[in-house]
Amino acid sequence: MTVTAGWYLALAAVLFVVGASGLLLRRNALVMFMSVEIMLNAANLSFVAAGRQLGVLDGQAAVFFVMVVAAAEVVVGLAIIVTVFRRRATASVDDLAGLKG
């Protein structure tokens, strides 16, 4: 059995759902952030698979840009999570509920 691009796209969809469920179900800000990274990489896989199938390099090139953006987001995200952690010594989002209404 050959593995076609369709399989990769299906895997990307599964990864995306895994990431989305993780974001919705987990309560630790770090784990939630890792779930988002899984979602971004699902999109990456889908880009590469599509690019490979189409025989053009656009999809692969896109992934480089996304990886750089994701790295920048890690910097920003960890800075924010560390700031919260310093104040509260917890990374659980349930403890952050001061803003409501």
Enumerate binding residues for another protein (CB under 8 A). 9, 12, 16, 19, 23, 29, 32-33, 36, 39-40, 42-44, 46-47, 49-51, 53-54, 56, 58-59, 61-62, 65-66, 69, 72-73, 76-77, 79-81, 83-84, 87-88, 93, 96-101
Q: Considering beta carbons, is residue 2 or 9 the nearer one to another protein? A: 9
Q: In the Cβ-directed half-sphere of 62, how many Cα atoms lie within 13 Å?
A: 16
Smallest distance, another protein to C-beta of residue 88, A: 7
Q: Considering beta carbons, is residue 1 or 97 the nearer one to another protein? A: 97
Say if residue 57 is exposed, middle or buried (CB neighbours under 10 Å; 0-12, 13-18, 19+): exposed
Smallest distance, another protein to C-beta of residue 2, A: 19
Smallest distance, another protein to C-beta of residue 77, A: 6
Stated as kind and residue range, the H or E segment containing 86 is: helix 58-88
Smallest distance, another protein to C-beta of residue 1, A: 22
The first and second tokens of residue 51, run together, are 């690019």
Residues 6+ apart with CB under 8 A from 7: none
Contact 27, 93 (CB under 8 A): yes
